[in-house]
Amino acid sequence: RLPVPKLEDTVTRYLNAQKPLLNDDQFRKTEELARHFEKGIGRELHEQLVAQDNRNKHTSYITGPWFDMYLRAREPVVLNFNAFMSFNPDPKSEYNDQLIRATNMTVSAIRFMKTFRAGYLEPEVFHLNPEKSDTQLFKKIIRFVPSSLSWFGAYMVNAYPLDMSQYFRLFNSTRLPKLNRDELYTDEKAKHLLVLRNGNFYIFDVLDRDGNMLKPSEIQAHLKYILSDNSPTPAFPLGYLTSENRDTWASLRKSLVDNGNEEALQKVDSAVFCLSLDDFAIKDFVHLSHTMLHGDGANRWYDKSFNLIITKDGTAGVNFEHSWGDGVAVLRFQNEVFKDSTKTPAISPQSQPASVDSSRAVQKLDFKLNDALKAGITKAKQKFDASVEALSLNMIQFREGGKDLLKQKKVSPDAVAQLAFQMAFLRQYNQTVATYESCSTAAFKHGRTETIRPASIHTKKCSEAFVREPSKHSTEELQKLVVECSKYHGRLTKEAAMGQGFDRHLFGLRYLALSKGLALPDFYQDQAYARLNHNIISTSTLVSPAVQLGGFGPVVSDGFGVGYQVHEDWIGCNVSAYPTRNGKEFLQCIYKSLEDIFNVLKGKK
């Protein structure tokens, strides 16, 4: 189970994270409020939280508040919450054809779903010592140990089974807009796929009455039929509504239902997943990021648990809604779909589609729109276009080294990437700001994420040495500072992964106070608390053989959204920003920072 940290540990960790962001006077005031909170109302809330957690052993203390936080948020999901991960191309170039890849990935996705539902999907396990635990022998033995003890058997060989409770929401699921708080909806009985093309909605069954998958050649035939349909884009594409403010969308949805569209919406909501087929090829990585993060708004249904997007040249990616689950579940899905569709593809470029009557099997959904709904769609489109217009996406690939060299120099690759972000921001804006790095707590039952706070007194000291006064320090001194940052970052990462961060605990206490109708404690009204939670640099990382790159929008209007990957011999970085920040310049500063760190580690200056 996810532990509730000790209150004194949480307060100490919180103050450590505040230190680099405040001057001495500000810090004194914040420290005083924190200690006061720890002895008084904080202690009472903490005891109540622990008691509540002991009464709810089937879940974790963060589950309820975290779902609530996502589902109560009224901002549009697109750019604010939904993230994307794009697939690598199929290694066999002739398989990167839109129809072939769409068929193969759809088949693999359904195989994954059926395997998962049948209880045959291999558990997600984090192997700290893979030589011992990631072996056929271990898998054979552990299979016969009762589940109440099997986790202990795994633990004995340093293998940690991860929570998979989010996985069922991958399929047949959607986020329904409701006033004040949205709802998650899942209908596992539905057998159809939703396909979007040119803003038109199509559905066809991919499972038969007995739950068996349609033949791949039939799926290919139906997709071919949709790709050859030359219906124009509707004058009022419904997809834009899912990019609206949630309350606005909730009332428009009610009008849609009242106007005779309940059945069509039901088909959209319950579909196995949403396959979005785009009618253009990808020009470059920036175009790829824009396409996968938001696209044109007409050819997406942002409320579905995920949209599988495939463009004209067979480039594929996933855009996923974030309330139901985190990157780890989506990544496992993508890894399996990539592996299955490339290693054992269901159809080949030579395959002929089945001779079936697709015009009968494929249903095009029609929506009845009155003037108010048409006006609502027009307004949603205007807002969407304006938001997307304001967003910049840029990226770099640093080719002068990666994980291999850093490990050889005994420093943490993730710590070096995070240090580069701190140095870059200092170089560009001459300050240290609140920074967020996401860390999965899936090692615990119903764990979600915890925050790593990469901005520390160590990164501040190191950044200032590199940026402001490099000539004052010898290479050895600079190396020592980098190693210090790496050690501290390693400690923070380990704490977060073990459920020993401070962010979720403080969030849970605050949520508890508000749910009991108590006045918000002074601690939470401190400007420094608000500033720490205004994450100007928001970061997330993943590396996988299936994924080319991933990204998300900034979480605050004056922030950066940083998706990054540290590979064996290079580092990739993808930055989103709004006009108040210059993302291109930030990336140039990151590049320069990485160059400086690598030179110092190599003994050059």
Is the confidence at residue 334, as pLDDT, over 80?
yes
The pLDDT value given to residue 137: 86
Tens digits of residue pLDDT in 391-442: 999 999 999 999 999 999 999 999 999 999 999 999 999 999 999 999 999 9
Q: Look up residue 27 and give its amino acid.
A: F
My answer on whether 427 and 572 are in the same domain is yes
The pLDDT value given to residue 139: 84
Angle (deg, nearest 10), helices 98-117 and 327-343: 120
My answer on whether 571 and 445 are in the same domain is yes
Is the confidence at residue 605, as pLDDT, over 80?
no
What residues contact 361, with CB distance under 8 A and at least 6 apart? 204, 205, 218, 222
Domain-terminating residue out of 161, 180, 215: 161
The pLDDT value given to residue 385: 98
The pLDDT value given to residue 32: 98
Strands 547-551 and 83-87: antiparallel
* Residue 133: band (very low, low, confident or very high) from pLDDT cuts 50, 70, 90: confident
Higher pLDDT, 108 or 125: 108
- Could you tell me how far CA 602 lies from the centroid of its own chain? 34
Q: 């069954």: which residue's tokens?
A: 205
C-alpha separations of 179 from 72, 182, 251, 322 in Å:
9, 7, 8, 19
Closest CA to 442 of 331, 303, 544: 331
Q: 């140039």: which residue's tokens?
A: 588
My answer on whether 29 and 90 are in the same domain is no
Tens digits of residue pLDDT in 208-257: 999 999 999 999 999 999 999 999 999 999 999 999 999 999 999 999 99
Domain-located, residue 74: no
Is the confidence at residue 532, as pLDDT, over 90?
yes
For 407, other C-beta atoms within 10 Å of its C-beta total 12
Is the confidence at residue 64, as pLDDT, over 90?
yes
d(Cα 152, Cα 156) in Å, to the nearest integer?
A: 6
My answer on whether 383 and 405 are in the same domain is no
The continuous run of DSSP H or E covering 407 comes out as helix 403-408
Tens digits of residue pLDDT in 551-568: 999 999 999 999 999 999
My answer on whether 354 and 477 are in the same domain is no
C-alpha separations of 284 from 313, 315, 584 in Å:
12, 11, 16
* Residue 155: band (very low, low, confident or very high) from pLDDT cuts 50, 70, 90: confident
pLDDT over 70 percentage in the chain: 100
Domain-located, residue 75: no
My answer on whether 206 and 343 are in the same domain is yes
Dmax of the chain from CA atoms?
A: 77
Domain-located, residue 258: yes
d(Cα 534, Cα 557) in Å, to the nearest integer?
A: 10
My answer on whether 282 and 227 are in the same domain is yes
Domain-located, residue 1: no
Domain-located, residue 45: yes
Domain-terminating residue out of 371, 390, 409: 390
The pLDDT value given to residue 151: 75
The pLDDT value given to residue 127: 83
The pLDDT value given to residue 399: 97
My answer on whether 373 and 495 are in the same domain is no
d(Cα 570, Cα 406) in Å, to the nearest integer?
A: 11
CATH number at residue 176: 3.30.559.70
Higher pLDDT, 542 or 21: 21
For 156, other C-beta atoms within 10 Å of its C-beta total 10
Domain-located, residue 545: yes
Instruction: Over range 186-208, report the average pLDDT.
Output: 98
My answer on whether 364 and 446 are in the same domain is no
Strands 192-197 and 274-277: parallel
| Marked catalytic residue, from 322, 446, 458, 505 | 322
* Dihedral over Cα of 482, 487, 491, 494: its sign: positive
* Residue 159: band (very low, low, confident or very high) from pLDDT cuts 50, 70, 90: confident
My answer on whether 144 and 178 are in the same domain is no
pTM equals: 0.96
The pLDDT value given to residue 130: 83
d(Cα 179, Cα 62) in Å, to the nearest integer?
A: 23
Look up residue 391 and give its two tokens: 């967003």
d(Cα 13, Cα 390) in Å, to the nearest integer?
A: 36
Instruction: Over range 480-498, report the average pLDDT.
Output: 97
Domain-located, residue 15: yes
Q: Look up residue 220 and give its amino acid.
A: Q
My answer on whether 227 and 358 are in the same domain is yes
CATH number at residue 442: 3.30.559.10
Instruction: Over range 504-519, report the average pLDDT.
Output: 97
The total domain count for the chain is 3
User: What is the rounded average pLDDT for all residues in the chain?
Assistant: 96
Residue numbers of the domain that contains 565? 7-69+393-602
My answer on whether 445 and 326 are in the same domain is no
294 is catalytic: no
Domain-located, residue 471: yes
CATH number at residue 134: 1.20.1280.180
